[in-house]
């Protein structure tokens, strides 16, 4: 076995909690969340930026967790799938809509889709179907055929415009 690689301490805020853990420089943010912080809701599919399963929010922006290094998240605010529901477990309007409209089957891609849409609907509350389909173009789902995802997103946007919150 080669010598263990040096690690560095990384401190950041995840879902509102200040956390720190050690990681090698080469650790991706997604691997850091899963293996160092135990937040396994963030999924890794392709690990080269194509599938979108690892999408998390960094300072509110949706980014690929596999293409950003953990060390680059030092001092940042990160939101993962674990941070979308309310503290009491109440689902966000988007999560609720996904449940009601069958917006997932196996659920592997769902964390990335929910984080992506959380940011997108915050920035584009009046998004229509073509805009939502384009926003979702960076997330691959092999179960649903996307129609139920789009239906759920439209329903969530509607609910949020009427004042629904997590």
Q: What residues contact residue 137 under an 8 Å CB cut-off, 6+ apart?
A: none
Indicate which single residue of 128, 134, 147, 158 sits in contact with other proteins (rule: CB under 8 A).
134
Per the CB < 8 A criterion, the answer to whether 107 and 65 are in contact is no
> Helix 93-100 and helix 110-123: axis angle, to 10°?
130
Residue 142 found at the interface with other proteins (CB under 8 A): no
Indicate the SS3 state at residue 27.
coil
Q: Interaction with other proteins in 72-131: which residues (CB under 8 A)?
A: 72, 116, 119-120
Q: Is the dihedral of CA 14, 95, 86, 59 positive or negative?
A: positive
Q: Which of residues 30-59 bind other proteins (CB under 8 A)?
A: 31, 47-49, 52, 55
Number of residues located near other proteins, criterion CB under 8 A: 30
Chain positions contacting other proteins, by CB under 8 A: 5, 8, 24-26, 28, 31, 47-49, 52, 55, 61-64, 66-69, 71-72, 116, 119-120, 134-135, 137-139
């Amino acid at each position: 076995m080669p010598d263990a690689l040096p690690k560095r301490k990384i401190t950041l805020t995840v879902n509102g909690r200040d956390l720190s853990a050690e990681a090698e420089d080469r650790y991706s943010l997604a691997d850091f969340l899963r293996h160092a912080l135990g937040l396994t809701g963030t999924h890794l599919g392709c690990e080269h930026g194509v599938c979108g399963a690892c999408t998390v929010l960094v300072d509110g922006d949706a980014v690929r967790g596999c293409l950003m290094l953990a060390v680059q998240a030092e001092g940042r605010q990160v939101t993962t799938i674990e941070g979308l529901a309310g503290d009491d477990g109440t689902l966000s309007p988007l999560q609720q809509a996904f449940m009601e409209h069958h917006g997932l089957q196996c659920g592997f891609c769902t964390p990335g889709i929910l984080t992506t849409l959380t940011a997108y609907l915050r920035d584009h509350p009046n998004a229509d179907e073509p805009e939502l389909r384009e926003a979702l173009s960076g997330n691959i789902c092999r179960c649903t055929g996307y129609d139920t995802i789009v239906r759920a997103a439209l329903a969530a946007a509607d609910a949020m415009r009427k004042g629904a919150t997590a």
